[in-house]
Amino acid sequence: MINKIADSNEYGFEWLDIIEPSEEEFAEVATRYNLHPALVNDCLEPDHLPKFERMQHYSFVLFRICSKDDTPEVENVQDLTSTIAIFFCEKFILTIHRKKQSLFEEVIASMEEKMSSSSRELLNILIASCLNTYEDPLKKLSDSVDYYERMVFLKPKDGPLLQGVYYLKRKIDLLKQMLILSYDIIDKLDSKEEGNVETRDTRDLFIKLQSMLIARSENIKQLLDIYFSASSQRTNETIRVLTIFSVFFMPMTFITGLYGMNFEVMPELRWRFGYPGVMLLMTAVNVLIYVWFKKKKWL
């Protein structure tokens, strides 16, 4: 579907928004605007990473925006983000995407409000709106990090905890990768030759989002360190308890094993007080061990 949003007579440039185009529609647009076949193929790849390319008569931007319907269990960039391809020059802007995106309503409203008179001004609005799609997911990630921090300290034995932290880390790493790869786009948009106050705002937004992601990335690493340290501490505590039990039972096992040997000449076995004496000996040994442990503050 091809929507003509801006006309060159009114805005000085043409804007076509192309949603899930058929092969015929795409071929027609590519021929009409003389689009390079390699860039057209990039538009069709759902897992293509962000990029910026400057051609002879136009430039090409491939940006990934955060999906609103992302699932908690993220495995790749397609689960978390979707692609928007932008061809632009002074005379036209083409936006190409696979499904309808609500951000375009905001872009159109902003374009009409600011009375955009150039395609580059519209491009800045588009990129800023694409960056804004990262804000809500980042806030949710912050809430998730806080939740898992509480879980690590309050309910450390919960089974799904580590799996949840893994998927959270995976999501943060993917978003971080998308922003890092998008830096070239922001840098070209806010270049020394063509930058202005509004492109500086877009760069500031990018830096803010990048800082938030770096902070969340550090938080999740610290959270994993705390989780493994707590798990190691619990394991050590279990081993400590088992060791204490074994120390108490080792002398008893030795004594019972000694008197369980089938030798014919063992005078204690025929002694009237042999059994009570052995029981008293085992009790005395355990009492001594207990006193020693207490003195060493091991109990």
Cβ-based burial of 242 (10 A; exposed 0-12, middle 13-18, buried ≥19):
exposed
Distance between CA 132 and CA 127 in Å, rounded?
A: 9
Report the half-sphere exposure of 18 (CA within 13 A, side-chain side). Answer: 24
Per-residue pLDDT of the chain (299 residues; tens, 9 = 90+): 788 887 877 778 888 888 888 888 888 888 888 888 888 888 888 888 888 888 888 889 999 888 876 666 777 777 788 889 999 888 889 999 888 888 888 888 888 777 767 888 888 888 888 998 888 888 888 888 888 878 777 766 655 777 788 888 888 888 888 888 888 888 887 776 666 677 788 888 888 888 888 888 888 888 888 888 877 888 888 888 888 888 888 888 888 888 777 777 777 777 788 888 888 988 898 899 888 888 888 77
Helix extents (H) in the chain: 8-11, 23-32, 37-44, 77-80, 103-114, 119-132, 135-154, 161-189, 197-259, 267-270, 274-295
Cα dihedral: 288, 289, 291, 296 (round 10): 140
User: In order of start, what are the domains of the chain with their CATH numbers?
Assistant: 2-232 (3.30.460.20), 237-295 (1.20.58.340)
pTM exceeds 0.75: no
R_g over Cα of the chain: 34
Residue 268: how many other CB atoms lie within 10 Å: 12
Determine contact, residues 64/83, Cβ cutoff 8 Å. yes
Range 158-173 burial, b when 16+ CB lie within 10 A, else e: eeeeeebbebbbbbbe
